[in-house]
Copies of this chain bind each other. A is one copy, B any other.
Amino acid sequence: MTTSSSEPVVEQWDIFEIALRGPQTNNPFVDVALSAEFRFGHRSLTPDSFYDGDGVYRVRFMPDAVGRWRYTTKSNVAELDGVAGEFLCTPAGAGNRGPVRVHNQYHFAYADGAPFYSFGTTCYAWVHQGDELEEQTLQTLAAAPFNKLRMCIFPKDYIYNANEPVYYPYLRNADGQQDFSRFDPAFWHHLEERIGQLRDLGIEAELIVFHPYDRWGYARMAEEEDDLYLRYLVARLAAYRNVWWSLANEYDFLLDAKPMERWDHSFRLIQEKDPYQHLRSIHNGDVRMNYDHSLPWVTHVCIQNSNVNQAQQWRTLYRKPVINDECEYEGNIPLPWGNISAQELVHRFWMMVINGGYAGHGETYLHPQDVLWWSKGGVLHGESASRIEFLRRIIEELPPGGLQPLSDAWLWARMAGGQAGDTRIIYFGAHRPAAWNFGLPEDAPFTVEWIDTWAMTIEQVPGVFQAAAEVPAPDKPYCAMRLHCVLA
């Protein structure tokens, strides 16, 4: 591979951008059609452009293969049509593993093959809080155990969250009304800076496309306005490798404005427009209102449900990865979804994860200035994050492929068992046997460690055990047993 000094260079899964000057008359957000076909070998990808104000049209592209890519633009505007060029894609640098995909049916992996075990948290409106708090949030995230962040694109109006945002996504008309056909580039520049900062911290940005907590009209735009927004969103942000699309938070609280076929339609539009097929999901409010996650445009199951013992049922029902992204939050606010103990949240993480799924963190402690992590970010006050980090390390040490749940014997409410390669983990929850001899491998000797999920200790039981053996157990709740086969 040769490079010329003038040839643009971008590393794999980073962003290559074409910027072209074009018309500023009428409504450039609506009137101008522009895309670019990027070709590599037999393949081509054709991202749409977006208008970035001041007469500038941009096409962003995330190359997924190392080597020379060539492109040609297509437009309904002559000066933007037929622009051709090329660039060289170089191997990904350290910390760049590409976008996250579904892997092994129920799990995730980066494009480079490294497993992605989802340990997410939630700061819904953090990009609408101003630089000081937003920078503090980034500092907290840099030291926290989370590799995914659920965050709203639109500002949020909700309990503890009444502040006006710094930026608005749309421009205003002469009469001060927002124009849902014209985007404000300042908003989007800010948003993509934050997404890039998350990327640089190794954090997936799970973008919540719609949500019902709204006083500005974003939740109840007309269908063609939604479509324009979705196209703009995908054109601007899909080239960020750490983007996930969460079509909504609590979609069912908006069913009066957006009936089910509009949700389906929006999903399909994103699916059609995103050249990279970033992960797509949708989050329910009422636990009886799961979206039909078996539909083909849903890549994985995202749910709100505190009944974590249903983890295996959700896997079986939808046959996709399951993230319980709101199994209630550690905190002490009056609302029931925001006041479980840290120990209970840690328990729910273990139940989801050992059953071969994933869970999401959130924190809702009362704060004198209403800076609750779950919505505004800031700093963490709770006791669950360190235990979630402990769990994450245990999961990351497992043989690759993700945990497969041990079924049948694990129907009891607050226990879970999972297997990855030659390792099994049995999580006991509120169960605390004095000894254990069920669900042990029958075909090999094995070693046993006891994990205290709250004290964050791991103790090896001396000796090697055979299948029928009774293994001494710590006789206290919230422990797990890790078994390693020791076949010679």
Contacts and interface: CB of A to CB of B under 8 A. Distances in A.
Interface of A: 286-287, 306-309, 328, 332-337, 339-341, 343-344, 366, 409, 411-415, 428, 430-438, 470, 473, 475, 477
18 contacts: A306-B412, A307-B413, A328-B412, A328-B413, A333-B434, A334-B434, A334-B438, A334-B470, A335-B438, A336-B438, A337-B412, A339-B433, A340-B414, A340-B432, A341-B431, A341-B477, A343-B430, A343-B477
Nearest to A365: B434
A474 to B, nearest CB: 10
Contacts of A436: 334
Task: Tell me whether chain A's interface is mostly helix, strand or loop, or mixed.
Answer: loop
B477 A334 contact: no
A334 B435 contact: yes
Q: Which of A308, A334, A339, A436 has the most CB of B within 10 A?
A: A339
Contacts of A411: 286-287
A339 B307 contact: no
B431 A339 contact: yes
Contacts of A435: 334, 366
A118 B336 CA distance: 29
A307 B309 contact: yes
B437 A344 contact: no
Which 7 interchain pairs have the tightest Cβ spacing?
Answer: A344-B430, A306-B413, A332-B434, A339-B433, A336-B412, A334-B433, A339-B431
Copies in the complex: 2
A142 to B, nearest CB: 29
B344 A434 contact: no
A437 B334 contact: yes
Given A307-B307, A336-B438, A339-B434, 5 more contacts: A332-B433, A334-B473, A336-B431, A337-B412, A340-B430
A374 B431 CA distance: 17
Contact of A341 (B334, B335, B432, B473): B432
A430 B344 CA distance: 6
Nearest to A426: B336
A336 B366 CA distance: 38
Contacts of A433: 332-335, 339
A332 B432 contact: yes
Contacts of A286: 411
A477 B344 contact: yes
Contacts of A477: 341, 343-344
Nearest to A328: B412
Contacts of A432: 332, 339-341
A475 B328 contact: no
A436 B434 CA distance: 38
